[in-house]
């Protein structure tokens, strides 16, 4: 069974940090691009990072650049999202999603067409 499972969310004060994990099962992440996507109630889905299978293929939007860092451990079939200097506006449900044959730096979609999704983990940042 192809599956992604996120963990690491929680409640943190503004300025704090969280590290999210996304563990894949049923397939090897090594050939996939992995995106972290967040959605808050009443807001549009926003991709906050994308890491491709090729070295150097990394994308961050301006809203998180310099604060969020994505990394992957293909041996552990896991992708991480380190989130520092968190702000209340970072509060959302965070999902990891995977798709093959994607080069993150060229991708212009909103990740809705990615094929494998996790169940999400809630991040709440208090002011």
Residues 38-50 have pLDDT tens digits of 999 999 999 999 9
Quick: pLDDT tens for 85-124: 999 999 999 999 999 989 999 998 889 999 999 999 999 9
Residues sharing a CB contact under 8 Å with residue 121, sequence separation 6 or more, in sequence order: 6, 7, 8, 9, 20, 93, 94
| Mode of pairing for the β-strands spanning 121-126 and 10-13 | parallel
Query: What integer pLDDT is reported at residue 78 of this predicted model?
Result: 97
- Region 1-19: mean pLDDT is 97
* Residues written for the chain: 127
Q: What is the mean predicted confidence (pLDDT) over 56-70?
A: 96
The C-alpha atoms of residue 66 and residue 102 are separated, in whole angstroms, by 23
């Amino acid at each position: 069974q192809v599956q992604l499972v996120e963990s690491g969310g929680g409640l943190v004060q503004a300025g704090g940090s969280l590290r999210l994990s996304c563990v894949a099962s049923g397939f090897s992440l090594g050939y996939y691009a992995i995106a972290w996507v967040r959605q808050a109630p009443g807001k549009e889905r926003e991709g906050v990072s994308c890491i491709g299978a090729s070295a150097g293929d990394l994308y961050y939007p301006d809203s998180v650049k310099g604060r969020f860092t994505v990394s992957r451990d293909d041996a552990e079939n896991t992708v991480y999202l380190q989130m520092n200097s968190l702000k209340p506006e970072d509060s959302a449900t965070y999902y990891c999603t995977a798709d093959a044959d994607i080069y993150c730096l060229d991708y212009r979609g909103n990740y809705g067409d990615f094929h494998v999704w996790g169940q999400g983990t809630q991040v709440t940042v208090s002011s």
